[in-house]
Structure 1
Amino acid sequence: MAPAITLAADAPTLSAANTGFMLICTALVMLMTPGLAFFYGGMVRVKSTLNMLMMSFISLGIVTVLWVLYGFSVAFGDDKGSLVGWNTDWVGLSDIGLTELWDGYTIPVFVFLVFQLMFAVLTPALISGALADRVKFTAWALFVALWVTVVYFPVAHWVWGSGGWAFELGVIDFAGGTAVHINAGAAALGVILVIGKRVGFKKDPMRPHSLPLVMLGAGLLWFGWFGFNAGSWLGNDDGVGALMFVNTQVATGAAVLGWLAYEKIRHGAFTTLGAASGAVSGLVAITPAGGAVSPLGAIAVGLVAGVLCAMAVGLKYKFGYDDSLDVVGVHLVGGILGSLLIGFFATGKGQSDVAGLFYGGGLDQFWKQCAGVFGVLAYSLVASAVLALLIHKTIGMRVSEDEEVAGIDQAEHAETAYDFSGAGGGAARTPANAPVTPAESKKVDA
């Protein structure tokens, strides 16, 4: 048979509709990092609130710059040995045309790379929840820079880059179950095994200081996740993105119900923290699976994730690792569940014709999912622990015990989250010997 001829008319052309859709999705994903900051910030004690917010926000600065310099090239450049990518033209993003299209799609390269940038920003921020109350800010910033370079950029290439070993194996990860959530959850476990527990772990009460802030953060995450998931199809022409949008909502709602039901049976109450955590567990679990399963399958994925993640968060007390805000219990466990359940619930009628066990496809896809899950988990766990150990043995990873007890916000940022005295929260801006203005003097006299 003569080789097929591709006519110029058949080549993809820039779609204004898909480009606009993807820019909106990118903005939604960007919103997830501040949403995560609020979610985590409300879950810690008052004295750690600002530090928790800053651990997410600094990722927006560090990862953005590194992505421009070399991150995009490592993650999505020409394959090198199925482990990393590289494209000299993408270093510094200096040789990309304004209307140059991402290969095989109708959106510009610039749109694809900025969408993927927001994933790279969010992933290390997820890790921060496991390290609340006790990590130096400079050490955390250095860890973020090293971690995305050594772990996230290569793993993104494995999973999504043409030529990456997981991509070529056929591992299904629609929007980041392995590359984002398992990656971050395993990294969190690796780091906390190195730096140890908070002062007072399992002894002192460490309750969330602001549940309304937690619910606000969870709501922003839920909202932004529609861009995170539906946008990962990189277009809106064939309905797969719409299926992912629907499944995102369905699985998240089911996970809320599953978590709350377990909580009521186990602890006797429906808590707002449980509702928020259940929502996040459902969002995590459907992230890899939503393009492959039906809405009924999404209910199953959400329910399983809600119940098992609720059970998993208690493991830290049993095994003695201090995962402050349950990154391991929610993101690692939820990511594993969502990725592996594809092997059972994939219908073969969504993003591909691959069917899972319950739809006549056998266990072939399940074993591929296992390879992706445990390959990423093992690499991230070990590499993250090594990076944390290097930092811990050089500049030191933890604040002093006195600073931790007194409050990391004052020690690292010279501020407090809430000012109840009227004197101002920014200690660095209001030194004790600062001159008093006549207006301030009148207030004091009054």
Structure 2
Amino acid sequence: MEAQVLADWESCDKTDTLFVVICSVICWGIIPAVGLGYSGYSTRHNSLASFFPALLAVICVSLQWYILGYSLAYGEGNGFIGDLKYAFHQGVLAQPVGTIPAILFSEFQLIFAATVAAIAVGGACERGRLLPLIPFLFLWTTFVYCPLAHMVWSESGFLYQMGVLDFAGGTPVHICSGATATAISVYLSHPLFRSRNSNIRTPSHLKLHKPHNTISQLLSLVTIWGSWLAFDAGTTLSFNFKSVHALCVTNLCAAAGALTWNLITYYESSKFSLDSTFLGAISGLVMITPAAGFISVTTSFFFGAAGALVCRQALRIKFTPVAHRLKWVDNGDSFATHCVGGFVGTIATGLFASRQVAAFDGTTEIIGGVFIDGNIRQIFIQIFEAIVGFAWTFGVSYLIFAGLDCIPGLEVLAIDE
């Protein structure tokens, strides 16, 4: 066995392997940075409890990924979910996946899964209990994220075979995290089971408020923005011009989103805002995620500006009288940025994808998008992917969260204090 592992290792490209190792280490910082961002959004007495779900995400998802997750997401299986061939990481060692070892590929994809989980459980911030999040994260990764990642990114996935273009996760990352956070938030506003019957838990006890800690937001923004460059660049899984291009368009898109949101805020209030910078940059990063390997530099600038305009309008929903009557709470603005931005980014990728840009790695071949290469069919594939991703994620996440609320001791709604 040792000889085979060493032979496999020798067949891997050391430059590509080192590149993905570095990207993995940098990307890991996104996970606690998400928790830090939620902590800054929360009230002072809820700040630590709002940070902790991100730590639970990386802990629980790491264990689940080792046991089942990697196999369910990237095993052969069928069009919807992988098999158990790699359960407990059997045989996941140095055998090359592309030009890097399989175990490194698994680790990089684990960071994707944990990042999505950290964003998703933000829907429980300030209103949800921590204890139920532990079984929720195990079940959610198994029944929500892994099937969706398999459908989109595995060669046997049915969305992959349809020809969907999703470079780094418009649907498996952003729509998935935003829809999950929305499902959690909706349930906490209108619990059905044990939380509803509690005398010490009031679904509407949390009111809208401004972020309490701008330093937390600042540190979160700097970390997420910088780490997301490695997130998209590393998605190529090799060190080539496409990875460099993906890094550059990601940065430009985030900058365009941040400036657009800030200028609108300045026009309305004559003030610049750190919160506007944070949300604008995040909206740009969300928009570019599915498209970073398919669009030109100039197109990425307009992606960022458009993402900020759309997500800023979506953010207004939670301030409307209708949202107040429905007890709509979107603590981390996950619906406005990740869910809506993920929808727009996924669909826009189908409109502006270029087969010339996709081929910057020397191997990828796509038909292209609507406006650049005249492939009208692509837009319908992208819309279908986004709808499937949202429906699957919201529905299954809601059922898992509601099911946990039926179990004594796992009431999901926090007490009013």
**Alignment TM-score, normalising by the size of structure 2:** 0.89
Q: Who is 2:233 aligned against?
A: 230
Q: Who is 1:135 aligned against?
A: 128
**Gap change, CA 1:253 and 1:44, over 3 Å in 2:** same
Q: Gaps (5+ residues) in structure 1?
A: 1-11, 404-446
Q: Who is 2:381 aligned against?
A: 368
Deviation for aligned residue 1:284? 0.9
Deviation for aligned residue 1:314? 1.4
Percent identity over paired residues: 26
2:355/2:373 contact within 8 Å kept: no
* Deviations 1:138-161, CA, capped at 9 Å, x for gaps: 112221111111100111101111
Q: Who is 1:16 aligned against?
A: 14
Matches within 5 A, 1:162-201: 162-196=155-189, 198-201=204-207
Q: Who is 1:407 aligned against?
A: none
Deviation for aligned residue 1:275? 0.3
Distance in 2, matches of 1:266 and 1:336, equals: 27
Distance in 2, matches of 1:163 and 1:96, equals: 19
For the pair 1:397 / 2:393, whether they are aligned, the reply is no
Deviation for aligned residue 1:268? 4.4
For the pair 1:91 / 2:87, whether they are aligned, the reply is yes
Matches within 5 A, 1:42-441: 42-80=40-78, 82-88=79-85, 90-97=86-93, 99-102=94-97, 105-196=98-189, 198-202=204-208, 206-237=209-240, 239-318=241-320, 319-320=322-323, 321-351=328-358, 352-394=365-407, 395-401=410-416, 403=417
2:223 match: secondary structure? helix
* Deviations 1:43-93, CA, capped at 9 Å, x for gaps: 11111111111110111111101100111000000122x0000142x2111
Distance in 1, matches of 2:153 and 2:210, equals: 39
Deviation for aligned residue 1:296? 0.7
Q: Who is 1:430 aligned against?
A: none
2:287/2:345 contact within 8 Å kept: yes
2:27/2:228 contact within 8 Å kept: yes
Deviation for aligned residue 1:261? 2.2
* Deviations 1:191-226, CA, capped at 9 Å, x for gaps: 211111551425xxx221110110110110011111
**Alignment TM-score, normalising by the size of structure 1:** 0.83
* Deviations 1:6-48, CA, capped at 9 Å, x for gaps: xxxxxx9311000000001111111110111111111111111
* Deviations 1:97-130, CA, capped at 9 Å, x for gaps: 4x3111xx11000110000010111111101323
Deviation for aligned residue 1:162? 1.3
1:129/1:326 contact within 8 Å kept: no
1:198/1:322 contact within 8 Å kept: no
Worse-matched range after superposition: 358-367 or 132-141: 358-367
Q: Who is 1:408 aligned against?
A: none
Worse-matched range after superposition: 173-182 or 358-367: 358-367
Distance in 1, matches of 2:280 and 2:238, equals: 29
Q: 26, 32, 36: which is aligned to 2:24?
A: 26
Specify the code of the residue in structure 1 equivalent to 2:395. V
Deviation for aligned residue 1:270? 2.2
1:186/1:328 contact within 8 Å kept: yes
Distance in 2, matches of 1:333 and 1:112, equals: 29
1:308 match: secondary structure? helix
2:307/2:341 contact within 8 Å kept: yes
Deviation for aligned residue 1:267? 4.4
Q: Gaps (5+ residues) in structure 2?
A: 1-9, 190-202, 359-364
Distance in 2, matches of 1:342 and 1:207, equals: 33
Distance in 1, matches of 2:220 and 2:269, equals: 24
Specify the code of the residue in structure 1 equivalent to 2:162. L
2:127/2:206 contact within 8 Å kept: no
Distance in 1, matches of 2:138 and 2:337, equals: 24
1:251/1:286 contact within 8 Å kept: yes
Deviation for aligned residue 1:353? 3.9
Deviation for aligned residue 1:266? 4.0
Distance in 1, matches of 2:136 and 2:371, equals: 42
Distance in 1, matches of 2:150 and 2:268, equals: 41
Deviation for aligned residue 1:131? 2.2
1:233 match: secondary structure? coil
Specify the code of the residue in structure 1 equivalent to 2:308. G
1:83/1:154 contact within 8 Å kept: yes
Deviation for aligned residue 1:132? 1.6
Q: How many residues align?
A: 382
Specify the code of the residue in structure 2 equivalent to 1:13. S
Distance in 1, matches of 2:124 and 2:153, equals: 28
Worse-matched range after superposition: 370-379 or 336-345: 336-345
* Deviations 1:280-335, CA, capped at 9 Å, x for gaps: 11111100011111011101110000111111111123242111120000100111
Specify the code of the residue in structure 2 equivalent to 1:207. K
